[in-house]
A and B are shown apart, each in its own frame.
Chain A
Amino acid sequence: MPTVIARSHSKLWPALGLYGLVALVALWLIGPFLWLFISSISEQRDLLARPMPLIPPNPSFANYAKIFGLVEFHAQHQSAQILPSLGNSVVVTLIVTALNIVLGSGAGYAYARCQHPVMKITLYAILFTRMLPVVVLMPALFLIMRQLGLQNTLSGLVLAYCSFTFPFTIWILKSYFETIPRELEESALVDGCSRLQAFVKVILPISGPGLVAAGAFTFVLCWNEFLVAQVLNSKQGTTTLPPTVAGMLGQANIDYSVIAASGFLSAIPAVILALVFQRYMVQGLTAGSVKG
């Protein structure tokens, strides 16, 4: 273990070696991401120049201004899709996250506390769905959503995302609620609370970390989802950011630097959220997946 090596010898070289390794890991993790940002504030002709300048000689946020429609450029009608898609992404992601926290926490709580055979069977069923590849369901879902009239609507997307995120949320929250002693609710019930009150007033207030973890995961997953949005919401103006950004790639007249800007823009909310809540996410995840 590097730990042991670094400590037991406590010499200069191992420590340097360790920092070398750390630097390498940092470069691997962050370097490409930084380059995406650098590309997005560069001009295309600087990216094409040989030798290529590694620090943009003319950094500007012009590419962002372009995709926000603040300046005119030749492909503005194409990039004009970015903002509405951003709006759709925000709406869908927030609603799904809220539904997951509200409905998922209720279900997670019930599964944590009630072990009726029916509950066990349905829990297995829910866990089983997580083994299914979404893509296998897409043709059937496509037809079903068409019948329901939910294609090209945000509600359809919300419904689809809920079904794919509920199992995960339920799992995380169930594990979390299991760590809360039953005595808390039992005494609340004795004090005359209804079961719902016991859950809402006693359990939920102390479940912040679990809810944050579940919410953050749901947010990241929905924000980044591509396939379902691409297939179900193909109509212009109804889709989310990932398909829209992907759609800019094949447009022969749009510079890579502009695409890089939209790619970076689309990545930023989830990345920031993950960085802010990373401690909870790791806890929630490991609580859900490791037992003992």
Chain B
Amino acid sequence: MTTLDPGRPDLTLQPEASASGPVRTRWFAGKNRQAVQSEGWFAAALVSPALLVILLIVFLPLVYSIWLSFAEVDLLRPGGTAITIFGMRLPLYRFTGLANYSKVLSDPLYWQALLRTVYFVALFVIEAVVIGLAMALVLNAHFAGRRLMRAMLLVPWSMSRIAVGILWLGMLDADFGAINGILYRLGLIDHYLSFFSDGFTALNVLIVVYVWNQAPFATILFLAGLQSIPQDLYHAASVDGAGFWRKLWHITLPSLRPMMFLVLVLATVNGFLMLDLIYVMTSGGPGNDTTTVTWLGYRTAFSFFKFGPGTAILFTLTLICVALTVIYHRLVLSKFQSE
């Protein structure tokens, strides 16, 4: 889920693929009959609290928000019919069919935001993969202080995006930003630069800041992958006279494929859903130049309180994310599995 990005487990690593041993329908093959009869209940008892909460807080809202995206929602006048679930009276408002979707999709603002989002995500994914991998390669080398450096990876990642945003405002501000301060001291600029007044620059700045926050996570995954590559492969390649780039291309990257898939999925989905950095750093401006689809949906729902169109916008985004995951799966993993 958006805010909970680490290790959104990759959906392709499905239960049966990961379970050890042959599929069993019972926990223990028939040693203790009484236990066998009760074990289903035991399992049910163990999973039901978690399932209940997820049902209530994820699946129910999911179904309800699908409904809302087809309704005209007036928050203060919950008119019309309502359904009662778990003693909750949920107003259904007025069903309007595809009106919200057609309204959203006919708004040029939406398409501009989508285009911007695609740019944002593409660049973010590329930067996160390249920088993440580069850092992994450096940190995989042998040097004094390697463990310390690996621990440092978690610093940018474990900060809230609010703190990250505040931090980078301090780096980039046009009056007191550290980067301006340093460039000015070095004599490279004679007046402070403003990083947020040009829309395109602001968008790119957002990408870099988000990469700073997220790429270390990719690095952690890549490092784990790198460690599982047998060193003999590199030695053999060295004997054959392969250089750094050839080894990277022919040994490292193919071996990292499952990790690459994971990083791509995570980065893409997280890229699409990024919201809190926009909230603290640009609020979607200047103009609409940093307004992504997520921000547009959030604003429609919670600034203008149009829950119907707001959820419709956000659902189009969800569909895109799911579709992209499937495509990545085809492109990256299927090849890997056939090898």
A and B touching (Cβ–Cβ under 8 A)? yes
Q: Is the CB of B184 within 8 A of A50?
A: yes
Q: Is the CB of A290 within 8 A of B321?
A: no
**How many residues of B are counted as interface, with CB atoms below 8 angstroms from the partner's CB atoms?**
134
Q: Is the CB of B154 within 8 A of A172?
A: no
Q: Is the CB of B181 within 8 A of A134?
A: no
B124 within 8 A of A: no
Measured between beta carbons, the chain A residues less than 8 angstroms from B175 are 48
Known: A140-B64, A164-B4. A1 touches B158 (CB 8 A): no
Interface string of B17-44 (1 = CB under 8 A from A): 1111001111110011001001110111
Q: Interface residues of A: mostly helix, strand, loop or mixed?
A: helix
A251 within 8 A of B: no
Q: How far, in whole Å, are A110 and B216 apart by their CA atoms in the complex? A: 32
Give the A-B contact count at a CB cut-off of 8 A.
Answer: 402
Q: Is the CB of A106 within 8 A of B47?
A: yes
Q: Is the CB of A19 within 8 A of B317?
A: no
Q: Is the CB of A263 within 8 A of B162?
A: yes
Measured between beta carbons, the chain B residues less than 8 angstroms from A110 are 42-44, 46-47
**How many residues of A are counted as interface, with CB atoms below 8 angstroms from the partner's CB atoms?**
126
A273 within 8 A of B: yes
- Measured CB to CB, the nearest residue on chain A to B51 is A122
Measured between beta carbons, the chain B residues less than 8 angstroms from A3 are 140-142, 234
B111 within 8 A of A: no
Measured between beta carbons, the chain B residues less than 8 angstroms from A51 are 181, 184-185
B80 within 8 A of A: no
Q: How far, in whole Å, are A116 and B23 apart by their CA atoms in the complex? A: 9
Q: How far, in whole Å, are A119 and B142 apart by their CA atoms in the complex? A: 45
Measured between beta carbons, the chain A residues less than 8 angstroms from B307 are 139, 143
Q: Is the CB of A104 within 8 A of B15?
A: no
Measured between beta carbons, the chain B residues less than 8 angstroms from A5 are 244
B11 within 8 A of A: yes
Interface string of B186-211 (1 = CB under 8 A from A): 00000000000000000000000000
Q: How far, in whole Å, are A140 and B54 apart by their CA atoms in the complex? A: 14
B297 within 8 A of A: yes
Interface string of A128-142 (1 = CB under 8 A from B): 111111111111110
Stretch at the interface among B101-109, B113-121, B164-172, B327-335: B164-172
Identify the interface centre among B178, B294, B321: most chain A CB within 10 Å of its CB: B178
A12 to chain B, nearest CB (A): 14
Interface string of A198-224 (1 = CB under 8 A from B): 000000000000000000010011011
Within 8 A of B (CB), among A16-60: 18-19, 21-22, 25-26, 28-30, 32-33, 35-36, 39, 44, 47-48, 50-52, 54
Q: Pick the residue among B51, B62, B176, B325 that contacts A137 (CB under 8 A).
A: B62
B130 within 8 A of A: no
Q: Is the CB of A32 within 8 A of B162?
A: no
Q: Is the CB of B47 within 8 A of A288?
A: no
Measured between beta carbons, the chain A residues less than 8 angstroms from B43 are 110, 113-114, 116, 119
New contact pairs (19) apart from A4-B247, A274-B154, CB-CB < 8 Å: A2-B140, A4-B238, A6-B141, A36-B163, A107-B49, A124-B15, A131-B321, A137-B61, A139-B301, A140-B62, A143-B90, A162-B50, A221-B6, A224-B3, A225-B160, A231-B302, A285-B220, A285-B221, A289-B221
